[in-house]
Amino acid sequence: MKSSGRNIKLTSYDDLFSTEESRADAQREKVMEIPLSELHPFRNHPFKVLDDEKMQDTADSIHEYGVMVPAIARPREEGGYELIAGHRRKRGCELAGLETMPVIVRNLDDDAATLVMVDSNIQRENILPSERAFAYRMKLEAMKRQAGRPSRENMSQVGTQKRSDQMMAEQLGESRNQIQRFIRLTNLIPPLLDMVDTKQIAFNPAVELSYLKQNEQTLLLDAMDSEQATPSLSQAQRLKKFSQDGRLDLNVMRAIMSEEKKADVDRVTLPCDKLSRYFPKSWTPRQMEEQIMKLLEGWHRKQQKSQER
């Protein structure tokens, strides 16, 4: 028996087109105005948001022109949204007195969100060593997990598959070795890492100090304070060697930190209390230095002329 076609209902062209259009529209990213109170910081966000002069400039720009580039966020299971990119813009909005900001909402898993967060911030100017260190570590760990291999296996060549750190180096324009050296800084205790950020400890010595045990790093703070000195590269390397040999204690640290550095041997120090009686009380150390250099230059010219006679 032949089936009847009278009961078959075909979808009209208009209905079919509308359905496809609505599906495409649903998949298209949209900019939403979201209350600032519903935007929460990214978990373990490595980049500092400071209320400094640049932040005030950002707030002034937002107040005058609005937010030019939307932030990126993802929905949170507990409600609201987790910011992925746009932490500084959010703070700028708060200072500008706004209650909402434009945001693109994306459904991203933890690793994808981490990669977007790092990549959207890492090219900024004036990134602190601590910020770069933790950002590099987060990005590399996320790339390893996305590769779907155990960490140790992922660090070795398998066929033509590139190592995660090699791929990361190519993306960032850094060497693999430099990336690993920055990641080493995440092993420093916070007070030492702060001293790296403030340039009290140079990068290369800091990498060597990162190999010390945490309790040794704490003792080092004591030695540095008592000797009023920070480690040079050679001193940091010796501290590391003593640690590896199991012979590093506070006495060894103080002995190393008390050594006279070559830079100190070559430096002439003139305390302000000795110089102040020769200058007006209102003069700053910088003004004193400039005047001393002018006097020395005049003395030097007189010496040259006397030698030419």
Question: What is the pLDDT of the chain when averaged over all its residues?
Answer: 85
Which pTM value belongs to this model? 0.71
State both tokens at 91.
């703070």
**Alpha-carbon gap, residue 141 to 238, rounded angstroms:** 31
For residue 123, report the phi and psi dihedrals to the nearest 5 degrees.
-90, 0
16/31 Cα distance (integer angstroms):
27
Strands 81-85 and 39-40: parallel
Q: Which amino acid is at 246?
A: G
- Please give the pLDDT value at position 8: 53
Pick the residue with more confidence: 105 or 5?
105
Chain segment 246-290, per-residue pLDDT in tens: 999 999 999 999 987 655 444 556 666 667 778 887 777 777 777
Residue whose tokens read 């033509």: 160
Angle among Cα 144, 127, 286 to the nearest 5 degrees reads 155
Per-residue pLDDT at 157 = 42
Q: What is the pLDDT of residues 81-117, one digit of tens each?
A: 999 999 999 999 999 999 999 999 999 999 999 999 9
Distance CA 22, CA 28 (A): 10
For residue 123, the 8-state DSSP code is T
100-105/71-75 β-pairing: parallel
Is 3.40.50.620 the CATH number for 31-107?
no
| Tokens 């990213």 found at | 29
Note whether 212 and 184 are within 8 A (CB): no
pLDDT at residue 19 in the model? 57
pLDDT at 3 over 90: no
3-state secondary structure of 81: strand
Q: Are 192 and 162 in contact (CB under 8 A)?
A: no
> Is pLDDT at 211 greater than 80 in this prediction?
yes
Domain ranges of the chain: 31-107, 111-148+164-187, 188-259
Full DSSP string of 136-200: HHHHHHHHHHHHTS-HHHHTS-BTTBPPHHHHHHHHHT--HHHHHHHHHGGGS-HHHHHHHHTTS
The residue count for the chain? 309
**Per-position DSSP letters for 3-68, written without gaps between them:** PPSTT--PPPHHHHHHHHHHHHHHHS--EEEEEGGGEEPPTT--S----SHHHHHHHHHHHHH--S
